[in-house]
Amino acid sequence: MRSKCSEGLIKLKAVFLLVTFLLTACNKEDIDYTRSRTSYFKNLHEQSFSDTTITCVTFNIQLGFKAAQDPWNKEIVGADTAQVKEIARLLKKAQPDIIALQEVPRNRYNAVVKLFIELLATEMDMNYAYGTHSYNDPYGIYPVHGEWGNAILTKYKILEINNKEVEFISKWEKRSILDASLELQPGKVLHAISLHYIPSDQAVSNTVKYLGQLSDPVIMMGDFNITGEIHAFDSLGFRDADANYTNNWIDRIYYSGNDFSCNSFGTIADSVTWISDHLANYGVLKLND
């Protein structure tokens, strides 16, 4: 027959093991900061279309924080439901078919909405794809709580995605491009790409290599971060919707010139609420016969 002392030691040991397990499960060291990346997609709708023009938007949403806020300051809280609605309100102005988003948060420590793209997709009533750069932070803040990356919102059915790494400086500095294969029309596939460069000397060259493997039409949008090598895409037959670079060198919309021509390009005005520190650019592309 066990003594009360023995029973007490057994219970204490059980509690110790449970606490150890929970601490281990929550330990950020279990994350592979160098390679772990989250990517997924979901179709809310799967109907077919027969569009001859496509309206595209690219928008860096600054992790769901207002323009005057610093999303990297752990003391500042943002990315709330009200901001999701504000972003949706702005995007709907363009009546977009495809949206490329950058700096999209996922489970970040100072974001109110943890699954940001899911809520935004619901507001927009669009299919969505998401791909992170990994568990990393441009300022090396440690431990890293949550991820951030690129996203695609679209009315078209998503067939598959590829979250391709194109820059790796260190485990804290790395970037991927998110390529979503869309069913543009029955039997016709389009690659919609969202990207956000550091930039480094790897960015454009690795993207050019990736694009060279694609045979279907491509629309590539994002935050190119003023890289002078951007003209390397011209050699692949890509064209810039803002041919005269009237808006800025940063947020661009590129498309495969053999497949599309550009009807118009512009910026969605946001001079009242300043939703982000970036502007949302749009382009209306016409499918070539």
Domains and CATH numbers, the chain: 38-287 (3.60.10.10)
**Is residue 74 scored above 60 in pLDDT?**
yes
Residue 104 in tokens: 């999209």
Q: What is the mean pLDDT of residues 138-147?
A: 69
**DSSP for 81-133, written as a single string:** HHHHHHHHHHHHTT--SEEEEEEEEES-TTBS-SBHHHHHHHHHT-EEEEEE-
pLDDT at 15: 46
Give me the phi and psi of 64, to 5 degrees please: 80, 20
Give the SS3 label for residue 13: helix
pLDDT at 21: 43
pLDDT at 140: 60
Please state the pTM of the whole predicted model.
0.88
- Sequence length of the chain is 289
**Is residue 19 scored above 60 in pLDDT?**
no
Q: What is the mean pLDDT of residues 117-130?
A: 98
- pLDDT tens digit string along 205-230? 999 999 999 999 999 999 999 766 77
Nearest to 173 by CA among 150, 199, 151, 195: 199
**Is residue 2 scored above 90 in pLDDT?**
no
